């Protein structure tokens, strides 16, 4: 049995009381590692280590070049350890190994390269004035960052937070999701190997409420909280953070829409709709889980979409040919399959789908469920998609916006004017036209409404992870 430990102040440690929990592989349904179970004590120790590294250590005082060199070295080490990092996420949450190796790990290493370079090349405002004053803006690192992450893209979403925080000179305590602690542990060890000083990047394991997660959110020595997870958890963290007025950045849940118009390139629309609905077994905040299809192509689209969904290969996520693994945990499997009963679907017709042996769920397509059915209103976070027909562009936009969430939207049309018109009418932080999941790391990422608070990415991460300081100097005119 492997042992996954905290990394605090540059040292691998167990919890003070020796507490552990099991890391279960959802494919074998057996524990393959024990994980140190952190509580308030370990969270506070990690914050103390990060505080010390920030207040007294070299990290925030290094030049962007020096810090960038170490972050690039970490990215290189991640490339060298791709197989190990990918396998960690695959064993923790059932993600197909091919996706973990070809997408998650390379993008995670890119997060470090991108933010190291972005910080180094970033400019600040200089405001000369004719009145004999010169104003300029400095961006000081914010301090200690608590990063709390979900389980669906463990390494990718952790590094999306850790990389910009470090690049801007902060120190970090990361709490990975309890279901996926392994890759964060490996990352912390690689950071030490890269030469990142002790205490700059700490990892503490544990749960949320009453555990390490909550302890991080109430610690007054934490200067920023960046959180990705459910909208309900976001509310709890916002309440906790308000006691110390700690600034928060939240990337929360979604119920993404995908609009397919009569004039769409159907081959492309079907291919992307399958990826958006069933990629990562639908465990994607950005998933296109509400499909709206114009009447003229509805029947043909549904037929081709269902065929393509049925062809997805389910199996051992460690097999390179597998496209869909099991769901990440037994609890999540029960939640997702609960959405396939008649009450949740409003007794709508369901094509395919359903529980398979193990914690597998086959792709499920729910046809035209009633407007208020839970399957259409709530985030399911599994391979369950609804398909609703529409007649006009206005109707499509109205249906798409009829949700408290606003994280992702897709639309398929060959009409340029319609593409711009509709994209500009959707209440969504991300809109993809004739594609999906294409990310430019300079662009803001986040959501409208219940999908988040704030944006991260490029200059937006800079804004969150730094304190702006305006300096105004009088320049004697004679």
Catalytic residues, which ones?
251, 285
As a whole number of angstroms, the distance between CA 272 and CA 301 comes to: 12
Q: How far is the CB of 451 from ligand NAD (least distance, A)?
A: 6
The CA distances from residue 219 to 3, 241, 243, in Å, are 27, 9, 9
Residue 364: both structure tokens together: 């499920």
Torsions phi, psi for 149 (to 5 deg):
-120, 155
Q: Are 263 and 295 in contact (CB under 8 A)?
A: no
Q: How far apart are the first and last CA of the chain?
A: 75
Q: Compute how many other C-beta atoms are within 10 angstroms of the C-beta atom of residue 313.
A: 10
Partnered with residue 312 across adjacent β-strands are none
Q: Which helix (H) or strand (E) holds 167?
A: helix 154-167
Return the number of the residue (195 or 210) whose C-beta is nearest ligand NAD. 210
Q: Any idea what DSSP says for residue 63?
A: -
Q: Are 369 and 346 in contact (CB under 8 A)?
A: yes
Residue listed under structure tokens 């524990």? 31
Q: How far is the CB of 333 from ligand NAD (least distance, A)?
A: 13
3-state secondary structure 45-100: HHHHHHHHHHHHCCHHHCCHHHHHHHHHHHHHHHHHCHHHHHHHHHHHHCCCHHHH
Q: How far is the CB of 244 from ligand NAD (least distance, A)?
A: 14
Q: How far is the CB of 181 from ligand NAD (least distance, A)?
A: 9
Return the number of the residue (253 or 363) whose C-beta is nearest ligand NAD. 253
Q: How far is the CB of 401 from ligand NAD (least distance, A)?
A: 18
Distance of CA 451 to the CA centre of its chain: 12
Return the number of the residue (363 or 429) whose C-beta is nearest ligand NAD. 429
Return the number of the residue (60 or 150) whose C-beta is nearest ligand NAD. 150
**CB closest to ligand NAD, residue no:** 208
Q: How far is the CB of 79 from ligand NAD (least distance, A)?
A: 24
Q: Which residues are at the interface with ligand NAD (CB under 6 A)?
A: 148-152, 157, 175, 177-178, 207-209, 213-214, 217, 228-230, 233, 236-237, 251-254, 285, 379, 381, 407, 447, 451-452
Return the number of the residue (252 or 281) whose C-beta is nearest ligand NAD. 252
The CA distances from residue 1 to 34, 151, 326, 422, in Å, are 7, 21, 22, 53
Helix, strand, coil distribution of the chain in percent, nearest 5? 40, 25, 35
Return the number of the residue (139 or 332) whose C-beta is nearest ligand NAD. 332
Q: How far is the CB of 230 from ligand NAD (least distance, A)?
A: 4
As a whole number of angstroms, the distance between CA 434 and CA 118 comes to: 28
Residue 93's closest CA among 38, 154, 139, 2? 154
Return the number of the residue (264 or 384) whose C-beta is nearest ligand NAD. 384
């Amino acid at each position: 049995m492997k042992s996954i430990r905290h990394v605090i102040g540059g040292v691998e440690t167990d919890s003070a009381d020796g507490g552990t929990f099991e890391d279960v592989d959802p494919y074998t349904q057996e524990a393959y590692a024990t994980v140190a179970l952190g509580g308030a004590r370990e969270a506070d120790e990690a914050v103390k280590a990060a505080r010390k590294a920030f207040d007294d250590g070299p990290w925030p005082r290094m030049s962007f070049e020096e810090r960038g060199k170490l972050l690039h070295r970490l990215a290189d080490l991640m490339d060298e350890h791709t197989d190990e990092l990918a396998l960690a996420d695959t064993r923790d949450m059932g993600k197909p190994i091919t996706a973990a190796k070809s997408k998650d790990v390379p993008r995670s290493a890119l997060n470090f390269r991108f933010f190291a370079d972005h910080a180094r090349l970033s400019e600040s405002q200089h405001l000369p004035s004719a009145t004999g004053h010169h104003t300029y803006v400095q961006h000081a690192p914010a301090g200690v960052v608590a990063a709390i992450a979900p389980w669906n893209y463990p390494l990718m979403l952790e590094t999306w937070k850790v990389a910009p925080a470090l690049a801007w000179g902060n120190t970090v305590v990361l709490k990975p999701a309890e279901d996926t602690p392994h890759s964060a542990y490996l990352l912390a060890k690689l950071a030490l190997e890269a030469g990142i000083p002790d205490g700059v990047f700490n990892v503490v394991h544990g749960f949320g409420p009453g555990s390490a997660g909550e302890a991080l959110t109430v610690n007054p020595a934490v200067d920023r909280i960046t959180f990705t997870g459910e909208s309900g958890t976001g509310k709890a963290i916002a309440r906790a953070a308000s006691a110390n007025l700690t600034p928060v950045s939240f990337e929360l849940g979604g119920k993404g829409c995908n609009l397919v118009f009569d004039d769409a390139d159907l081959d492309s629309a079907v291919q992307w709709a399958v990826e958006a609905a069933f990629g990562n077994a639908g465990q994607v905040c950005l998933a296109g889980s509400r499909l709206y299809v114009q009447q003229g192509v509805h029947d043909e689209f549904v037929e081709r979409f269902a065929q393509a969904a049925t062809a997805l290969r389910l199996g051992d996520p460690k097999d390179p040919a597998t496209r869909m693994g099991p769901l990440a945990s037994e609890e999540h499997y029960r939640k997702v399959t609960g959405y396939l009963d008649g009450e949740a679907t409003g007794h709508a017709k369901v094509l395919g789908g359903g529980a398979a042996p193990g914690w597998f769920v086959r792709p499920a397509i729910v046809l035209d469920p009633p407007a208020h059915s839970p399957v259409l209103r709530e985030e399911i976070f599994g391979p369950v998609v609804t398909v609703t027909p529409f007649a006009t562009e206005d109707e499509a936009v109205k249906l798409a916006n009829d949700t408290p969430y606003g994280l992702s939207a897709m639309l398929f049309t060959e009409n340029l004017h319609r593409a711009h018109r509709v994209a500009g009418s959707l209440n969504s932080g991300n809109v993809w036209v004739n594609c999906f999941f294409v990310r430019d790391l300079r662009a803001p990422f986040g959501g409208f409404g219940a999908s988040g608070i704030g944006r991260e990415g490029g200059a937006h991460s800079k804004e969150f992870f730094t304190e702006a300081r305006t300096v105004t100097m009088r320049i004697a005119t004679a």
